[in-house]
A and B are shown apart, each in its own frame.
Chain A
């Protein structure tokens, strides 16, 4: 197991490097010169040259890339083109809000999705199953930002149960959680729907296997058969779906952040797009990519934990 962990963790380094090359190339080579974008098409050539020089954009690409990687390793992401303040502290300030939202959304998805999946598989073709399936189909068809708007309308405007916008006071856990409920549901319900569907179909697949029948035949309690024998094997597809949809959840958290006007990486990113702040965009993208590479790593490790065969490959 430890050998596998080391190998898989080391593999994340070239992946991350590849992703950084990709971000860098997209930011530099696709049409759209930041000098023109910020100074306008009419800008005199001297001003453009001056701008490129002051941001190091006149250097050869490989030197710019080296500076980008080296800067990241030293923890220096340069300064924002828009507000001229160092980028890293801005990102580190936003990061807790983004992680709050992602983790709570994930919690909604897992803690509601898996039990609902088990329930629907056990009571398949009953009214419960039918309702849950309609619900999960609706869940994957609703854009998360729209769900956020609906939740604000019903639970913040109409019933005033939850605050409308903002993230609350980070140092006050109750306030923080109170502000997190609606955003977490907005990003989490789609994930819940996916997990319910996958858990249900994975369980249905193993439930007819011979080893489950054997477990029943030897007189084990139904609960024991379900959780010890069936569920463990059904978890494989669930884990891979959790890995994939965590990426999607992080993507939709950008929009939900805007709807609820929360601080976070999403807000920095959209701000960076509106002000053509390429260095900020590059830095935020790198952070998002890092989070996703990490999620993929954890998914693979969880895989190996559940299925011993993977460790010995």
Chain B
């Protein structure tokens, strides 16, 4: 609190930068301590880390080749050899779910990454510069936010065509406005602060002020938004893959597996229920982190 209200107005440009960094990391340390105290967040963090590790090391963890067909072993129910059974091509469902973690999370996380970079750049420039750029950004984000993410994603995919990269772009477009919004708000709040005014008075260029002073100061807010919207990105990946606009077969993705399995729901329910449980677990984990962050950032909701 007090650390960031006492920005030094020094002539030396190095000074305020380092002061900024230290106040940022102090805040981050404090948040980290609060997160460790919050049980929901802690469980969410552990769960997320575990799932991310599985996704990262998927090729070494799968018990069977996830795309290798073996028609002799098709439609096997869950058992000792195939823990979650096999699909009608004889592919091991557990292996496909593990590999699917890589695909589904990869798409969702790269979408969040793109939205974060593009949205916060747009928002910071708009908020800091003001004027016509700001008005245009606000109008555009308002317009994009009129559409629910699923419908916007469908619309973009309808035009771009399906596939892994396009799916990621579609999700990114759908959530970019959220990052632009929050970055813009923070940039506007920062714009009038003494240390920014000071840097400007010293003749620093706008680009340099944005990079050196504005971006480090909004990184916390933007990262929180990122963790909250990751859950949505994963849900959207599942939604759009379920409609059949995601990765092309035989590459496994969770939504696509449910789509393939749902026609055999009566006789082989594990084909669609197991990958759905995986989606549920990941989204739950990210929501638990998000819940904790919200409590920490907004102490009024704490009990």
Contacts and interface: CB of A to CB of B under 8 A. Distances in A.
A18 B272 CA distance: 40
A138 to B, nearest CB: 7
Nearest to A202: B301
B160 to A, nearest CB: 6
A149 B262 contact: yes
B150 A252 contact: yes
Contacts of B48: none
A248 interface: yes
Contacts of A269: 154
Interface in B259-303: 262, 265-266, 269, 272-273, 276, 279-280, 283-284, 287-288, 291, 300-301, 303
Interface in A242-298: 247-248, 250-252, 254-255, 258-259, 269-270, 272-274, 281, 285, 288-289, 292-293, 296
Interface in B104-160: 139, 143-144, 146-151, 154-160
B151 A285 contact: yes
A255 B242 contact: yes
B150 to A, nearest CB: 3
Interface stretch (B22-30, B64-72, B82-90, B231-239): B231-239
Contact of B160 (A32, A137, A150, A153): A32
Interface residues of A, number: 49
B159 A205 contact: no
Contacts of B149: 248, 251
Nearest to A142: B280
B243 interface: yes
29 contacts: A15-B146, A26-B159, A30-B160, A124-B303, A137-B288, A138-B284, A141-B280, A141-B287, A142-B280, A143-B283, A145-B258, A149-B258, A149-B273, A149-B276, A150-B273, A150-B276, A157-B266, A201-B301, A204-B301, A205-B300, A251-B149, A252-B150, A270-B243, A281-B155, A285-B151, A289-B146, A289-B147, A292-B147, A292-B148
Interface of B: 139, 143-144, 146-151, 154-161, 231, 235, 238-239, 242-245, 258, 262, 265-266, 269, 272-273, 276, 279-280, 283-284, 287-288, 291, 300-301, 303
Interface of A: 15, 18-19, 22-23, 26-27, 30-32, 124-125, 137-138, 140-143, 145-146, 149-150, 152-153, 157, 201, 204-205, 247-248, 250-252, 254-255, 258-259, 269-270, 272-274, 281, 285, 288-289, 292-293, 296
